[in-house]
Chains A and B, each alone.
Chain A
């Protein structure tokens, strides 16, 4: 049982951009702007030109319902949009269309790997809203002489997922974010690699005190760092006899600190009221049909992998924590020994990819199949297999070529037997030690044989052969 010594309570607000939709949430503009010039994917509606009106994108609503269902939320029968009124140059209408009362879904949860095993994090609500434009500064925010605005992002569909304050450490916050991203990728509604795809605001308090809201967090690692800093800061305030005040703080990613945003803008009264240009949306009846099309989610796939392929739960978890890896594994496991595939993908390939900062796409599944085939048929050693994987990642080629070039084909039978006899002849002292009961002497003999076969023999087999000859 995790004691949570500092009484840490963390809740996260995650903004997910539905960047796999073809069009924006209230207009027909394309969402495919990432490689295009600024302000090239805009129209009267997402520029908020006078007289333009929003029209809801039905696909965005479907995605929102999908997310709600995947997060075990209750999906409402009616949903409504509201205006959140505030002035900011990235907000072309002077208000953001969002949800307030009647959010599309609420009251769910997800399970994460907590400080003390499986841990449940409540989902307060997941609601729809529109993305503002993007401010572009020359250099840093405080030194820039001007601000440019790119409205390509304006009107992109966002889902804001608000968690309950159920996380007890920065590590749990990071795991929550990992899990959330994983679920969203399984739903195929979101490409997490695109700029601005997932943005996080974190609320944190300690010892039952007031909470600080930290904005401008752009990565999972950033969230963990910001929260770690914030715990230290709040503890220091308490240690000095002070009181933590409720405020909004800005995460400075470069310095890994949070800074107070003491400004007039903070005291907001958003004057929410129902958006008169969008009629309340009746969505009763949508959820069951969408539920039927919901893909298998990470937890379900993990359980299925354990059952179907008889692999260890740890391996199943590692394989399903990234959709692309899970798909890779499953394709390999259909044609090769599933357990061997799980071991080699989880314990070797993932580590080698991680070391090189590569994704699973850098490795062909045919190559994985050949490596496993070579291993299972005992044509190469485990060390040889690792060598092949590394060479494929660093230089390319094919496993067979690499085996030939590097001479990794396992040496067997007569050659090993001859080498063993030579080793026994040449090392009488070691033989004598072994016969006198010194087990360790056998290891030095194995070493000699391995040297003679240039490492291409299987060490376990060599041992067996030596034992036979000395027996």
Chain B
């Protein structure tokens, strides 16, 4: 597990081509199935260019894995769905442009739940990704490939997207650091939408420092995304090993029934560690948390039912040989979407239908407002909130995939953050046997500095992030 700084030294001493080649070899030998597409040729070509141009840029020559729902010009982008078979975007997402300008090298497109719908990376048309810590277990999802690639040393950095926990969940299950920024801080231009009002692109790395370096590169307003905001900041300058005077809120609702004992203990221990370093903690009430899951799924599925309507086989992707429009688009969608995607499109369509719209969609929006108010109230008294990222460590492959409800319930601690639009970072804080446990540090809108500083201080004073899967 090499850090950005270590890699930079090696690139300077040797070459980017050498580094990229090493990572490509690890990917080739790997059984994790973290990648859908390995961009071997373009990565090596780019590395050669960067070597000859003198390594300019904060990420010059450093490989990165990109979740396969982020558009990459000239590289297949599948969303892990059969329906996008053969689709090669003619344009780069905003974050990809920024990465290229910073000198980063796209090494491949990471596996994920189909259209980011899942928490285990098992709904991918390209097969599940395995957890590097225990290959009989899931890596979490939906950005499972991105997290597993970093945990399995197949890439030093990666990008995921977080609609209801899709960065933080796999970060937690794979023992790496993952950040879901405030809604609007990173442009979504080029991110293939699952639920637009909830999702943000987020960085993965093995340390808070590297996550922050990557975050600094990709954050910033983009005129092509009307929901992006102007909050230019140097987040790396927030990385100070000091939490004296920090007020931590502990939302008891996040330590509820169904939370694994080891998870509960590890997160509370982590809070104690921070208190020993000068922080204080108080219990906070977030009474509407119990409604978050239902509201989240209604909103996410409603938006998804509309977002995914464009996949009709007319312009790109899967195409059947039927003669008329109705048969063609129906059969393309029947053949192209997996079970979970169809389930969510159907439920979302239902929730927006005449007669049900007010009962489900509008009600969910009202709950969303209540959840936001919970956070606003809590942040009057505290600087950050700390809670488990996931109620339990990584579960077994196949354990929940046939029981959608129990899989949805796994997102109980992550979805309120997306409904409120606040930032949250997940980082390793303990182990249950050999399985990593993650905690999330949640902040006020646009106060990434506070959560990064808290996470950085914790990391500087513990060694959970330095452990690696055997492999």
Q: Which residue numbers of A lie inside 8 Å of B, CB to CB?
A: 44, 47-56, 83, 85, 87-89, 92-95, 147, 149, 269, 271, 273, 276-279
Question: Which of A51, A93, A273, A277 interacts with B71 by CB under 8 Å?
Answer: A51
**Contact (Cβ within 8 A) A149 B314:** yes
* Residue in B71, B79, B315 whose beta carbon sits within 8 Å of that of A47 in the complex: B315
Chain B: number of interface residues, binned into ranges: 35 or more
Q: Contact between A276 and B303 (Cβ–Cβ < 8 Å)?
A: yes
Residue contact B310 to A277, C-beta cutoff 8 Å: no
**Contact: B309 with A50, CB < 8 Å?**
no
| From A51, A89, A95, contact of B70 by CB (8 A) | A51
Closest to B184 in A: A279
Residue in B84, B311, B352 whose beta carbon sits within 8 Å of that of A85 in the complex? B352
Complex: A94 Cα to B325 Cα, angstroms: 13
Q: CB distance B309 to A51 under 8 Å?
A: no
CB atoms of A89 and B314 under 8 A apart: yes
- Selected from B226, B329, B352, the residue in CB contact (under 8 A) with A87 is B329
Task: Select one of B89, B226, B310 contacting A93, CB under 8 A.
Answer: B310
Give Cα A105–Cα B306 distance, bound, in whole angstroms. Answer: 26
B188 part of interface (Cβ distance < 8 Å): yes
Q: Which residues from B are CB-within-8-Å of A92? A: 310, 314-315
Chain B residues within CB distance 8 Å of chain A: 69-71, 77, 79, 84, 87, 89-91, 93, 188-193, 195-197, 223-227, 302-303, 305-306, 308-312, 314-316, 325, 329, 349, 352-354, 357, 361
User: Residues of B contacting A278 with CB < 8 Å?
Assistant: 226
Chosen A-B contacts, 26 in total, with CB atoms closer than 8 Å, are A44-B89, A44-B90, A44-B91, A48-B315, A49-B89, A49-B90, A49-B316, A50-B79, A50-B84, A51-B71, A51-B77, A52-B189, A53-B189, A55-B226, A56-B226, A85-B309, A85-B352, A89-B325, A92-B310, A271-B306, A273-B303, A273-B357, A276-B197, A276-B227, A277-B226, A278-B226
Give the chain B neighbours of A83 by CB distance below 8 A.
306
Tally A-B pairs: CB < 8 A.
Answer: 103
Chain B residue numbers with a CB within 8 Å of A88 are 325
Contacting pair A277 B315 (CB below 8 A): no
Q: Are A94 and B306 in contact (CB under 8 A)?
A: yes
CA distance A54 to B77 in the complex (A): 20
Given contacts A85-B352, A278-B226, contact A51 B89 (CB under 8 A): yes
| C-alpha gap A51/B353 in the complex (Å) | 25
Complexed CA–CA distance, A55 and B228 (Å)? 11
Nearest A-chain residue to B329, judged by Cβ: A87
CB proximity of B324 to chain A, nearest CB, Å = 9
Q: Which 9 pairs show the lowest CB-CB distances between chains A and B? A: A94-B309, A271-B352, A276-B197, A276-B196, A50-B192, A51-B190, A51-B71, A51-B192, A94-B310
Q: A41 to chain B: closest CB distance in Å?
A: 15
B353 in complex: contacting residue of A53, A95, A269, A276, CB < 8 Å? A269
Residue of A nearest to B227 (CB): A279
Is A273's CB under 8 angstroms from B306's CB? yes
Contacts of A49 in B (CB 8 A): 71, 89-91, 315-316
For B349, list chain A residues within 8 Å (CB): 271
Asked if residues A95 and B309 are in contact (CB atoms below 8 Å), the reply is yes
Q: B312–A95 contact, CB under 8 A?
A: no
In the bound assembly, the distance between CA atoms of A435 and B296 in angstroms comes to 106
CA distance A53 to B361 in the complex (A): 23
Nearest-CB residue, chain A, relative to B196: A276
With A55-B226, A89-B312, A94-B312: A50-B77 Cβ-Cβ less than 8 Å:
yes
A279 vs B196: C-alpha distance when bound (angstroms): 12
User: Cα distance A51–B189 when bound, in Å?
Assistant: 6
**Which residues of the partner chain A approach B353 to less than 8 Å between Cβ atoms?**
269, 271
Residue of A nearest to B197 (CB): A276
B321 to chain A, nearest CB (A): 13
Contact of B306 (CB < 8 Å), options: A44, A51, A85, A269: A85
**Which residues from B are CB-within-8-Å of A87?**
309, 312, 329
Residues of A within 8 A of B79 (CB): 50
With a cutoff of 8 Å between Cβ atoms, the chain B residues found around residue A89 in the complex are: 312, 314, 325, 329
Q: A149-B314, A276-B303 are in contact. Are A54 and B87 (CB under 8 A)?
A: no
Q: For the complex formed, measure the closest distance between the CB of A458 and the CB atoms of chain B, giving whole angstroms.
A: 71
With both chains docked as a complex, state the minimum distance between the C-beta of B329 and any C-beta of chain A, in angstroms: 6
CB distance from B280 to the nearest CB of A (A): 37
Decide: A50 near B89, CB < 8 A? Known: A89-B314, A269-B353, A273-B352. Answer: yes
Report Cα–Cα, A427/B128, bound state, in Å: 116
Report the minimal beta-carbon distance from B393 to chain A, rounded to whole angstroms: 33
Who on chain B is nearest to A279 by CB?
B226
Q: Given the known A-B contacts A55-B223, A87-B312, A149-B314, are A50 and B87 also in contact in the complex, defined by CB atoms under 8 Å? A: yes
B306 and A95 within 8 A (CB): yes
Chain A residues whose CB sits within 8 angstroms of the CB of B84 once the complex forms: 50
Residues on A with beta carbons closer than 8 Å to the beta carbon of B309: 85, 87, 93-95
Q: Which residues of A contact B89 (CB under 8 A)?
A: 44, 49-51
Nearest B residue (CB) for A83: B306
Chain A: minimal CB distance from B183 (Å): 11
What 20 additional pairs, Cβ within 8 angstroms, besides A49-B71, A85-B309? A49-B90, A49-B315, A50-B84, A50-B310, A51-B89, A51-B189, A51-B192, A51-B193, A52-B91, A52-B190, A55-B224, A85-B305, A87-B309, A89-B314, A92-B315, A94-B309, A273-B361, A276-B303, A277-B226, A278-B226
Q: Which B-chain residue is minimally distant from A149 (CB atoms)?
A: B314
- Do B306 and A50 have beta carbons less than 8 Å apart? no
**Most B CB atoms within 10 A — which of A48, A93, A277?**
A277
Cα A55 to Cα B227 in complex, Å, equals: 10
Give the distance to chain A from B332, nearest Cβ to Cβ, in Å: 11
